[in-house]
Structure 1
Amino acid sequence: MIVYAVPSEGIFGGIKVAYQTVDALLSLGVSACIATPDGRASQWFRSSAPVLARAEALSRMSDDDLLMFSLPHDYVDLKASGRRLVFHCQGTNPLIDPVICDPDVELLACWRQAREYTVEIAGRESTDVGIQVTESFFYAGQTKLASRVSYMPRRGAETARRIALANPQLRLEPIDGLDEDGVAARLAVSSVFIASSEGEAFGLPALEAMASGCIVLSVPVVGGTEFLRDGDNCFYGDVDHLARSAKLLTDPASRERLSRMRNSAVATALRYRPAVSRGKLERWAACLSEAQRGPFGEVSGG
């Protein structure tokens, strides 16, 4: 059994990735569940992952079962549980250094920069299990509203406003308070997405917007250099560069270039379809023992 411990049911990208991982494991015939502090499941995206309260999940685990986590703040408490730990690396900063330097913790990584970080800091290889874009985000030919520029105000709202101030022809529309299906529907008809949150570990919202056929304007992110290529499939750089690039969005002479950029963005996102990520996870799961693949008992769906 694999228990994936998450800190809450809140709206954080890492939470969704945890549920996606458990869903993928279940599809591969591996018994897995989510463990939250109080047993409440996230409701802002679709998932069939069973959910237990963390205390109950830990009490039901055997010595063979694996305890997976991605938030470094959980490390000390989970280490004290005596369970076999698997760190699912979704971001890199000094907070994870004690985790990745612990030889008793198995390491999985979602993208290239995370794999490079574990080697650089801890001298340890991590297993590539990928990261995915939910199928509902992929562009299906919807009509794009030329002036609609979407962004997520939760982080980086001032950056989006600065770009819009330099480009009054654009109409900013915040994406806030929507579940995953609502976000996908909004991006499907948006022409542009501003990824305005600096310091993102990977930048999954930008990749989801690319899958949706949006022109993405992205500030620098830590892991996003794996898929963000300025002038090819997005505009990538500091705010001044993005503000200048945004002027091309309504320039008739740039129409063909922007069309190529949209196509390149979707092609990039296709490398992150669920089936691709599931294939990587399957290679890791193939090394699990029968006891680790099996259940520890009945749990209710989330």
Structure 2
Amino acid sequence: MAGRIVYVYGSANAIAGGIKGAFQHVELIAHAGLDAVIATPDGAAPTWFATRAKQVLHSDIRDDDLLVLPENFRPLLETWAARPNRKFVFCQSPWYVHEGLGTRASYADYGVEQVLCTSHSVMLYCRERFPGLPVAYTPPMIDVALFAPRAKKMQVAVIPRKRPVEAGVIADLLRHRYPKLSSSVTWVVIQNATEAQVAQAMGESAVFLSLARMEAHSLTTLEAMSSGAVVAGFCGVAGGDDTATPANGFWAAEEDVFGCVEQLARAIDLVMRGGMAYEALVGEARATAARYSREASGARLAAFWRDKLG
């Protein structure tokens, strides 16, 4: 009989979407009645988001455990390559695959049997990069209860980490091109915040400026949609992602800063006018995020692991 499903990661206290994604997977699998834990070097719980995932130490891993390793952490892949465990990679960003591989040609060289992919664009990447290595679609989870609309303020929330230069340029150009619109909004810059703080800021903001870049699937954008903010900006995925449509946001082409300013102005104007068009877009955005609810994503993930466990 197979052992536990163990997601093997580094420190849980680095503020990174990949860490939260791994903890969410473990929560969803355990909620489905399967034995799942997350293993970290020190067993310390994350301080920037709440979790019910059970944690163990790396040293607690047994040979019959099924291991899930991050796509980008080569020391972990090297450490467990020689162990007899069945091994999987959870690829949350194809742009960091090369960091995990080092000079090896494939994850298969580490004994990995399959890659879990957080979006369809990641699946396409992995199918090309690792021909013959099976891939599976295991979508992310959006906590629609936490990321929910609150009393709205006429403010624009933004997380500038991925595009700090563009953040300043866009705000400046908005003031220049649309002084009336710009003067009617305040800005909320979200940096080094806990998940609860992010949820509050998004829930209170009428507009969210998406500065996503080189994403696999922008969870931040989906969280803003779930929060009832009108999203404008970049989807962050070359060629588009699984969710961005003209019906649920105001999207600019990658690297088109001028176009992004125009889309942001349209978003602010829509909020100020209100009415049916505003309600329709917010409704469509929230419906988009709801497709990644705990129940929906959990059911798909549980089905995957039940199949692997036989």
Q: Structure 1 length as normaliser, TM-score?
A: 0.85
Q: Does 1:80 align with 2:82?
A: yes
Q: Does 1:270 align with 2:290?
A: yes
Instruction: Report SS of the residue matched to 1:217.
Output: strand
Q: Does 1:225 align with 2:245?
A: no
Give 1:4's aligned amino acid.
Y
Query: How do 1:32-111 residues align onto structure 2 when only pairs under 5 Å count?
Result: 32-54=36-58, 56-58=59-61, 61-62=62-63, 64-73=64-73, 74-93=76-95, 94-95=97-98, 98-102=105-109, 104-111=112-119
Q: Does 1:183 align with 2:190?
A: no
- The CA RMSD measured in Å over matched residues stands at 2.2
Cα separation, 2, equivalents of 1:84 and 1:72? 18
Give 1:136's aligned amino acid.
A
Instruction: Report SS of the residue matched to 1:222.
Output: coil
Q: Does 1:162 align with 2:169?
A: yes
> What's the offset of the Cα at 1:219?
1.9
Whether the 8 Å CA contact 2:162–2:212 is kept in 1: the answer is yes
> What's the offset of the Cα at 1:72?
2.5
Whether the 8 Å CA contact 1:228–1:234 is kept in 2: the answer is yes
Distance 1:193 1:137, change over 3 A: farther
Partner of 1:298: none
Structure 1 residues 198-207 or 95-104, which shifts more? 95-104
Cα separation, 2, equivalents of 1:215 and 1:239? 18
Structure 1 residues 219-228 or 42-51, which shifts more? 219-228
Question: Structure 1 vs Structure 2: percent identity of aligned residues?
Answer: 27
> What's the offset of the Cα at 1:232?
1.9
Q: Does 1:259 align with 2:275?
A: no
Instruction: Report SS of the residue matched to 2:241.
Output: helix
Q: Does 1:289 align with 2:309?
A: yes
> Equivalent of 1:244, from 240, 244, 262?
262
> Equivalent of 1:207, from 205, 208, 222?
222
> What's the offset of the Cα at 1:48?
1.3
Partner of 1:15: 19
Give CA deviations for 1:146-185 in whole Å, capped at 9, x if unaligned. Answer: 2x11111333232222221122314221112332122111
What are the ranges of 5 or more consecutive residues in structure 2 without an aligned counterpart? Answer: 176-181
Give CA deviations for 1:98-153 in whole Å, capped at 9, x if unaligned. Answer: 4445474222212111122222222233122211101334434x32112x111113
Give 2:244's aligned amino acid.
L
Partner of 2:137: 128
Whether the 8 Å CA contact 2:210–2:231 is kept in 1: the answer is yes
Query: How do 1:116-155 residues align onto structure 2 when only pairs under 5 Å count?
Result: 116-123=124-131, 124-140=133-149, 142-146=150-154, 148-155=155-162
Instruction: Report SS of the residue matched to 2:68.
Output: strand
Cα separation, 1, equivalents of 2:191 and 2:125? 32
> What's the offset of the Cα at 1:49?
1.3
**More relative contact order, 1 or 2 (CA 8 Å, 6+ apart):** 1
Instruction: Report SS of the residue matched to 1:136.
Output: coil
Distance 1:263 1:177, change over 3 A: same
Instruction: Report SS of the residue matched to 1:7.
Output: coil
> Equivalent of 1:113, from 121, 129, 132?
121
Partner of 1:4: 7
Cα separation, 1, equivalents of 2:164 and 2:23? 27
Cα separation, 1, equivalents of 2:71 and 2:247? 33
What are the ranges of 5 or more consecutive residues in structure 1 without an aligned counterpart? Answer: 291-302
